[in-house]
Amino acid sequence: MSSWFERQLSSHQVQLAATALVSGITVAGLIYGGQTIRRKVATDQLKASIPPLDEEHQAQRLTDFGAALPVPSAAKEDERVAALAGRAQQGDYDDALIDEQLTRTASFLTKPGFQILRSSFVIVVGLGGVGSHCTSALARSGVSHIRLIDFDQVTLSSLNRHAVATLADVGTPKVQCVRKRLEAVVPWVHWQCLNEVWREDKGQRLLGAWGSGNGRGPDYVVDAIDNIDSKVELLKYCHKNGIKVVSSMGAGCKSDPTSIFVADISASIEDPLSRTTRRKLKLAGVSEGIPVVYSTEKPGPGKAQLLPLPEEEILKGKVDELSVLPDFRARILPVLGTMPAIFGYIVANFVILEITGYPHEFGSGKGREKLYDSILSSLQGLEERLARDAGQDPLGLKIPVTKEDIAYLIEETFRGKSVVSGLPTRLALTRWRKAKDGYKVDQRWDGQKFSRVQLQDLVCMTKEESATHEKEVLKGELPPEVLYDVDVVQMVDRRQREEQQYRRYR
């Protein structure tokens, strides 16, 4: 048997057959391996050619039969609107239609003012409730170039206050949402959408001229940011570089539209966001020159407040990680959807009037700065008279009360009226009771003398009532309960209890 195998192996024909078989297997392996590599390369190239999912390329769920669902009509409408806007922004739009759509604004501002507005360039930073309503008003009124800056996306919870977002926009960038929706209303408006966070080191690019080169700079910047550090950075940058800016203060936890005013930031009172912003700006060397929209409505018992974090989140530690970005608020701020809209429209109204030069005034809230100065001076005089009457030297006497405190007491605590007569004119602040241990000047520190009067000691009266009160109560022996009716005493007691409650919110 072995000899047969030896004869076969030594056979030339068998050796040729074996060589052919091995060669065939090798060639087949090379061909198959090459085909496998080519298929992998082709597959990778095909995958790489598929665009990422975004606003332009969206994925659709297949039907039960493996076919694609029909494209929703809304998407076709968006495409039609985008195409129309593209043509309109290139000048392919009838000017007569624009004039007709904006005829009411044009007739209000007159032709010169309206032409200025039509050629203006406005930047809106922050596209939440305030910013979206402001942008909508600016675009609908005739502003032709608008740059939008916001890093955030539309969320389901933001639909209660957003001007134009729909359910279909949830999860999309706010800047793109606002542009897309408003293009259906004002297709001729030119947009620049920057989906990023405002940072001072990006200021030259974010707030720079429209277009490349030496284009036109912004006529106005709208600050609708709700993060204090970013807000302060933006306002400081604009003030330093001579860029006109208007800032919206906090609309959260507010409910009274009649308490919203426009004033220089130095005159804004009783608004926590405004107060914090003002303090940080002062540290940066900016104390005035920035108009703000703010509310004088004070927080208090029964009103909305910043919601606390759930206990389970606090126990986890690292609460700062819950915020969208570092240094951004992690807690929920309750918002009545109507208030951001009102703030936004007031901001837009201010910008339109400023750009067009339309006559308007803005100042110190209720325009009562002189009244507050007068009341503060009268209170200073009262404390000096009481010190002199107590046999103490009033020279150099200071009182621990500011003009902002005067405004707070007059407007917020006493509603701008005398507690005695209810009259709103010739107002003054006076101590309600005589000091228990007699009037004393605090001189614990060398070179400093000040009164110990506290805000809770003061009540609002007319100047005539205050003079009688000083004579009979503060310098005389009558207690207030004897001099005044029960209703007046009870009114003062209620107001002082309210002030004690509100004091912790200041």
- pLDDT computed for residue 35 by the predictor: 73
- In terms of pLDDT, which residue wins out, 178 or 409? 178
Which tens digit of pLDDT belongs to each residue from 280-322? 887 788 878 899 999 888 777 777 776 554 545 444 444 443 3
Q: Would you place residue 267 in the very low, low, confident or very high pLDDT band (cuts 50, 70, 90)?
A: confident
The C-alpha atoms of residue 43 and residue 59 are separated, in whole angstroms, by 20
The DSSP secondary structure of 146-186, one letter per residue, reads EEEE---B--GGGGGT-SS--GGGTTSBHHHHHHHHHHTT-
Class of residue 404 by CB neighbours under 10 A (exposed 0-12, middle 13-18, buried 19+): middle
Which tens digits make up the pLDDT trace of 75-127? Answer: 677 888 888 888 888 888 888 999 999 999 999 999 999 999 999 999 999 99
Number of H helices, E strands in the chain: 17, 12
Select, from the ranges 1-15, 200-214, 269-283, 459-473, the one with the highest average predicted confidence (pLDDT): 459-473
DSSP code per residue over 385-449: HHHHHTT---TTEE-S--HHHHHIIIIIISTTS-TTT---SSEEEEESS--TT---EE--STT-E
Residues 6+ apart with CB under 8 A from 151: 195, 196, 197, 325
Cα separation, 473 vs 471, whole angstroms: 6
Is residue 221's pLDDT more than 70?
yes
Q: How far apart are CA 180 and CA 412, in angstroms?
A: 43
**Res. 181: pLDDT tops 80:** yes
Q: Which residues are CB-neighbours of 352 under 8 A, at least 6 positions away?
A: 109, 117, 137, 138, 141, 143, 358
Q: Crossing angle, helix 338-356 and helix 129-141, to 10 degrees?
A: 40
* 376 or 53, greater pLDDT: 376
pLDDT digits (tens, 9 = 90+) for 227-243: 888 999 999 999 999 99
Share of the chain above pLDDT 90, in %: 45
Longest dimension (CA), the chain: 146
Q: What is the pLDDT of residue 381?
A: 94
Which pLDDT does position 70 carry in this prediction?
Answer: 46
Helical pair 272-283 and 228-240, crossing angle rounded to 10 deg = 50
Predicted TM-score (pTM) of the model is 0.63
pLDDT of residue 323: 41
Residue 71: the pLDDT is 42
Residue 343 in contact with residue 251, Cβ under 8 Å?
yes
Helices 12-49, 2-9: inter-axial angle, 10-degree rounding: 70
Closest CA to 336 of 161, 158, 137, 505: 161
Higher pLDDT, 281 or 418: 418
Closest residue by Cα to residue 123 from 274, 362, 347: 347
Please give the mean pLDDT across all residues of the chain. Answer: 82
33-82 pLDDT tens trace: 777 777 777 777 777 776 665 555 555 554 444 444 444 445 677 888 88
319 or 351, which is more confident?
Answer: 351
- Does residue 183 have a pLDDT over 90? yes
Q: What distance in Å separates the CA atoms of residue 369 and residue 403, rounded to the nearest whole number? A: 8
Q: What is the pLDDT of residue 321?
A: 36
- Is 462 in a helix, a strand, or coil? strand
Q: Within its chain, how far is the Cα of 197 from the centroid?
A: 13
